[in-house]
Chains A and B, each alone.
Chain A
C-alpha cells in the first residue's frame, strides 16, 4: 500500500470508519452457526430510522444512548427463521437501562450474557453494550433450543464483558425485590437535571424504592441536589452523611442522602420511618465502598 493510500485510509478512519471500529460492522457481528445460513438485513438502523423497525418504542431506546441496530435472520430448510437483533448502545449502563426497562421479574431467566430470559418464541439478553433480541415464529422445545444455541454463539462472538454495572452492588440485599434494579439515564423522576440514576425496589421495611446516583465528586453531587431543591423552591439544612426530607409535589415525599460522590434517596412510600431505615442501610453499604 502506497503512502498516499495510507493517508487516505487514515483520514477516512477518522471521519467515517471510526464509529464502525468501536461498533463492529454488521458483516462481522453475526457468527456462523453450523447448519444455519445467515441472511443479513442491508440497513443498519440508526437513531434517525429506528422508528422503521420498532415504531414508537424507539423513543425509549433513544433515551438510552442507542447507537445502531443490526439485524440478521438465521435460516434452515423446513424450519422457521430465527431473527437476531443487536441493539448497540453507547455504554454498558445504557444497555442495562433499556434491558431492565423491559425486564419482568416473572420471566424464566437464563445464564447467557450478563443475564437473559426466554419466553415462547423469544430470547433476550444483555451483553455489554449490546441488548440482544432473538425471536422466531416457531414454537416448542426445538425452537427454544435453536434460539439458545444461536444466542450463545452470538454472545461468544460479541466478546463483551458479562459483569453488571458496579453501582448495582451498592444496593443492600435485605428486602430488595429480585431483579427490580433499573437504570434511568435521563429525566429521572421527571426532571431533566436528574440523570444517571440506578434504582431498586424494596418490599421491606415497607414497599419503597431507592435511588443512587454516582456523580463522581462530592461537589457535583451537591450541585445536583441544589438544582433539585432550587426547582422545588426549598431550602434544606442538609449535611453530608445525614438523611433529610424533601417534599416534592410531583413525586411525593423523599428522604435523601448526600454521601461522598453519591446522591441517594428513598421514595415511592409515604412511610417516613421506613424510608429513613432503608437509606441508613444504603449509607452503610456506601461506607464500605469509599473510593480511594
Chain B
C-alpha cells in the first residue's frame, strides 16, 4: 500500500463528516467547463495566456528550491514550459539556479516569470536588472508586481508607470500582478488598470470566497488577461496537526476545471510530484475518488470564523459566538493566548458561559463544534495575565 493510500484511509477514518457531504455545493460546478479534459494524444493540454499570444500547458512549475537543478531539467524534458520564480526567493539563489540551468536551452523554449514587490521606480528597475543578471537573460516573459492585496496598490500610478517602463525597455515582455489576499478586488482592479497582462492568484477548493474569485477570474479572462493559479493545494493539509493531507493532484485538477484559468504553478520539489503533475497535463478528468477526497476535505471546518452570525439566534444566552470563535483562532491558530484573552476580556464573558445549558442548540454553518470551542478557550479567562504575557516564559 502506498503512503498516499494510507493517508487517504486515515483521512476518511478520521473525518467526522463522512460521506454525507460528498455533494458539497462548492464542488457542484465540476464538469461544467471540464469538457476536453483529456486529449489522449500524448501532448499536454494547453490554453492561451490571455491576449499575450503565449500558449501554455495547463500545469507549470513553481520553482521553490534552489538545491536541485535536476528537477528543472526533468520538468523541461517532461514538457513543462512555464517556470515561476521570484526576486526574493532564497535571496536570489532560486533565480541563479534557474539561470545556470536555462542557459543551456533556447530562450524561446520556455516562459519564465519572476516577481518583484512594489518599490520606488529606481529600486524596482534595479531589482529587475539584478534578476535578469541572475537569470542570465535579457528579458523575462512575465514580470509580476509581487503580493498585492488592495485596489489602491494595484492602481498605484507610480507602480503602473514603473511596470510600463519595464515593458518598454524590453526587459519584460508582459507584466502582471500576484495576489493571495483579497483576490477578487485585486483581479478587478487589474482589469480596470488596462496595464496588466497576467494575474497570478491564489485559488483553491478551500476558499470560502471562491465564487467571488471565480467570477473575477471570468471577468479578467473576458478582458484578455491571462490567469495563473497558485496555492492550489490549499496548504497541503486540512488540519493544523498535519494528519489529513490534501489530495494535491485532485486539488490541482479541481482548479483547472475552470477553463478561464490558463495554468497553475504548484511548487514541485520531488520527481514523484513532477510525474504526478505532468500526468495532469495530459488528463484533467477527475475520478470519483478525487472528487470524494476534496468534498470530504471541504467539510473540515478549520479555524477561521466568517462571522455570518447565523449561530447567534440559536444560543439561549445570546453569546457573541463569532467573537469567541475568533479568540479560539488567536489561541490555536496564532498561538497567541494573550491576544485571545484580551478579546475575551473585552467581551466580558463569565468563566463558564455555557454552564446553564445541558445541550448546545447552536449549529455552525462551517461545522465548528461551538460548545467545545467555547469551553476550551474561555478557560483563558481564569488564567492570570502574567502567565500569558511575561515572567515565566523564556
Contacts and interface: CB of A to CB of B under 8 A. Distances in A.
Contact of A46 (B230, B267, B335, B394): B335
B93 A19 contact: no
Nearest to B351: A8
Contacts of A252: 70
Given A9-B383, A17-B387, A25-B388, A56 B271 contact: no
A102 B91 contact: yes
A236 interface: no
Sorted from nearest, which 6 A-B pairs have the closest CB atoms? A55-B147, A102-B91, A187-B269, A190-B271, A59-B64, A187-B270
Contacts of A55: 86, 88, 115, 146-147, 178, 180
A20 B88 contact: no
Contacts of A184: 67
A111 interface: no
Nearest to A191: B270
A32 interface: no
A28 to B, nearest CB: 5
Contacts of B388: 17, 20, 25
Given A28-B394, A44-B334, A251-B70, 17 more contacts: A8-B379, A16-B331, A16-B332, A16-B337, A17-B387, A20-B337, A28-B390, A42-B339, A51-B231, A54-B88, A55-B115, A55-B178, A57-B89, A60-B90, A182-B67, A187-B68, A190-B68
A23 B392 CA distance: 12
A40 B392 CA distance: 20
Contacts of A190: 68, 70-71, 74, 269-271, 274
Interface of A: 1, 5, 8-9, 11-12, 15-17, 19-21, 23-28, 42-49, 51-52, 54-57, 59-60, 63, 68, 101-104, 159, 182, 184, 186-187, 189-192, 199, 250-252
B389 interface: yes
Interface string B66-97: 11101100100000000000101111110000
A46 B86 contact: no
A158 to B, nearest CB: 9
Interface string B306-341: 000000000000000000000000011111111100
Interface of B: 62, 64-68, 70-71, 74, 86, 88-93, 115, 146-147, 178, 180-181, 230-231, 235, 240, 267, 269-272, 274, 303, 331-339, 376-377, 379-380, 382-384, 387-390, 392-394
B355 to A, nearest CB: 14
Contacts of B270: 187, 190-192
Nearest to B73: A250
A118 to B, nearest CB: 13
B90 A101 contact: yes
B21 to A, nearest CB: 22
Contacts of B379: 8, 11-12
Contacts of B230: 56
B267 A59 contact: yes
B240 A27 contact: no
Nearest to A11: B379
A5 B71 CA distance: 56
Contacts of A44: 334-336
